[in-house]
Chains A and B, each alone.
Chain A
Amino acid sequence: MEILNFPYLGTSAEPKPLKLKKLDISRNRRIPVDSLLALLEAVGDTLEELNLRFCSLPFMDILSLYLGNASSARKPMRNLNLDNLIRENPSTELPQLEKIKATRSIPTMKTLCLNRIHLSVLLPLPRSNKVVSNISFSKA
């Protein structure tokens, strides 16, 4: 177990997450969604850009967190790249997506990349928000 080789003892018993503004973990398929979501919660609103291209993650868990859900006070990220995200449960996405569309706007998002996501129902979501300046779609 790799943790046994971790030799660094900090002085604090509390997490002191890095103030990450930009994180690119694309093409990493061994990072589970719960670990990623825990990091996103810890980092909070400081994270402005997240690249998850070709990651193997539940699409809606990621999208709902950052396009928002009713209970989240989080500001959406300015740049979110979900190109080629490998989705696990596409059959459950439509009802969740409808809920998101009804409850949330994305006022500060600048770039949303959803190329080759295989989800045509996504189209009305960003198009309905005129603030998003750069949205890229393409067919699979």
Chain B
Amino acid sequence: MFYLTTATTEAVLRNCTQLEDLKLRNCDELARLVSPASSLVEFSSPVTDGEKEKEKEQEKEKEKEKQEIDWVSSVTSLDVTGCKGLQTSGWADLFPHLPQLRHLYLPINVSARDALELLPSFCPLLETLSLDSIPVVTDSLIGHLAHNLPSLTSLSVSNCTKLTGSSMTYLIWGTGNILFFFKWKF
């Protein structure tokens, strides 16, 4: 039996610089897709001349790390449903590297609502979004996504038990100003 681990995935995908469609369903051993953002933070300005060489070396390493995750920038479709091992903190690190993403299928264990709220900022071209069974999906999150993802044509929120009729109202108003609706209604 072969299990796809984080190391294996990274090793394979780094060579796939033109990858567009990535399906990693039910890869339980997968912990993350890209390196943590903390390792990509730019180094601050140098203090002394003696530290400049170290500085340059570190910058080169950072640049190398950036290049290593460049493979994700060409991905337009990502399906990681059933990947229960994916770390919650990894989503905020991943989304900024997916500017071309149009189809996204997320696993049930996404517990960081903040990361989902960032989706429209980093993946504005999203057309398909699957949030099935994710417990942090609420009406206001649907409103946020509907308001900021004008290209969204396919939405799956099966078994999102917190949703009520308000989410339907948010979808109706889409990118319009929903506050006008509530002002009129009440």
Contact = CB atoms under 8 A, between A and B. Distances in A.
Interface of A: 2-3, 5-6, 8-28, 30-32, 34-36, 38-39, 42-43, 46, 51, 53
Given A31-B163, A31-B168, A6 B175 contact: no
Contact of B160 (A2, A12, A28, A53): A28
A6 B148 CA distance: 13
Nearest to B163: A28
A105 to B, nearest CB: 27
A10 B168 contact: no
A15 B156 contact: no
B173 A16 contact: yes
B150 interface: yes
Contacts of A30: 161-165
Given A24-B157, A25-B163, A8 B144 contact: yes
Interface residues of B, number: 43
B154 A15 contact: no
Contacts of B139: 2
A2 B142 CA distance: 12
Interface string B111-127: 00000000000000000
Contact of B177 (A9, A17, A26): A9
Given A30-B163, A30-B164, A11 B177 contact: yes
B154 A22 contact: yes
A46 B173 CA distance: 16
A21 B128 CA distance: 10
16 contacts: A3-B182, A6-B143, A10-B147, A17-B172, A20-B152, A20-B153, A20-B154, A22-B156, A23-B156, A24-B158, A30-B162, A30-B163, A31-B163, A31-B164, A31-B168, A51-B158
Contacts of A15: 172-174, 176, 181
B180 interface: yes
Identify the interface centre among B132, B161, B168: most chain A CB within 10 Å of its CB: B168
Given A13-B180, A27-B159, A51-B158, 11 more contacts: A3-B140, A8-B147, A14-B176, A15-B173, A17-B174, A24-B155, A24-B156, A31-B163, A31-B168, A46-B153, A53-B158
A18 B153 contact: yes
A28 B177 contact: no
A25 B173 contact: no
A50 B116 CA distance: 24
A28 B180 contact: no
A34 B172 CA distance: 13
A35 B176 contact: no
B134 to A, nearest CB: 13
A29 to B, nearest CB: 8
Contacts of A39: 168-169, 171-172
